Amino acid sequence: MATIIKTIKRVLKIERPPENTAPPNPAPVSAEPRKTITIARKVTSAPVVVAPSSAPSPAPERRTLSIKRKPATPEDPTKARERPAKATETARKATPQPAKEKGPAKTPKKPKTPPSEVKMWELEGYMVEAYKTWREYHPLAVGIFPDVRRIATGKGYSVRVAEKLIDMHTKRTKYVQALAQGGQRFRLDGTPDGEVTAEQREAAAQRLARRVEREAQSSNAG
């Protein structure tokens, strides 16, 4: 044991420098500044390797769209009053209404008679009272219209009234029958003036036959 301790001390003496030894003389420092060259190494960045993480990746941020509502305007008081009235009207229409009792059937109105026709009948009444030839449907003389027109205008009636009167008188069945029988023609005062020709008699007979045929067809249809 003692031998080992001595050996260790001897080794320590060899490696430890002597304590009293003076340091070597430093090299003389020159007055000129030294030029130094700095060489910087390019630092290469090592690739960053991201280790796979078992933690779940964060969910992407959701964007929300905010909608601003327009502030409600105060309701018009008149519309607020109309709304209950409309609801009441709708409910009234939905409710079945009792059937209205039908009153007595209205008689159809008679068509109005044109003023000219009214005046024609007035003039007709005068002609029947004043002239026998007119009243008994004697064949009138050819060219009798100027006399009828003069009478009508003298009584305050228009020429149109005189035309309608002579047309109605000569189309009546009794007058056509008088033409079909033939004989003399007369003026309004009863004076003879001409005769009914054979052609006029034949035309009047044909008119009567057509009229009788139409009347028979109308009665059969009815």
Q: What is the CATH number of the domain that holds 183?
A: 1.10.1710.10
Q: pLDDT digit of tens for each residue in the chain (222 aa)?
A: 667 777 666 756 654 555 554 445 545 545 555 655 555 555 555 555 555 555 555 566 666 666 666 666 665 656 556 566 666 666 666 666 666 666 666 777 777 888 889 999 999 999 999 999 999 999 999 999 999 999 999 999 999 999 999 999 999 999 999 999 999 999 999 999 999 999 999 999 999 999 999 988 888 876
Q: How far apart are CA 118 and CA 132, in angstroms?
A: 23
Answer left, alpha or beta for residue 173, where phi above 0 means left and psi between -120 and 50 means alpha: alpha
Q: Let me know if residue 19 belongs to a domain.
A: no
Q: What residue numbers bound the domain in which 196 lies?
A: 115-221
Q: Report yes or no on 70 lying in a domain.
A: no
- H-helix or E-strand spanning residue 77: helix 77-94
Q: Whole-model pTM?
A: 0.51
Q: Which of 187, 128, 123 is nearest to 160 (CA)?
A: 123
Domain count, the chain: 1
Task: Answer yes or no: is 193 within a domain.
Answer: yes
| 133 assigned to some structural domain | yes
Angle between helix 159-171 and helix 115-130 axes, rounded to 10 deg: 60
Question: Is residue 210 included in any domain, yes or no?
Answer: yes
Task: Using alpha carbons, select from 133, 137, 136 the residue that is nearest to residue 147.
Answer: 133
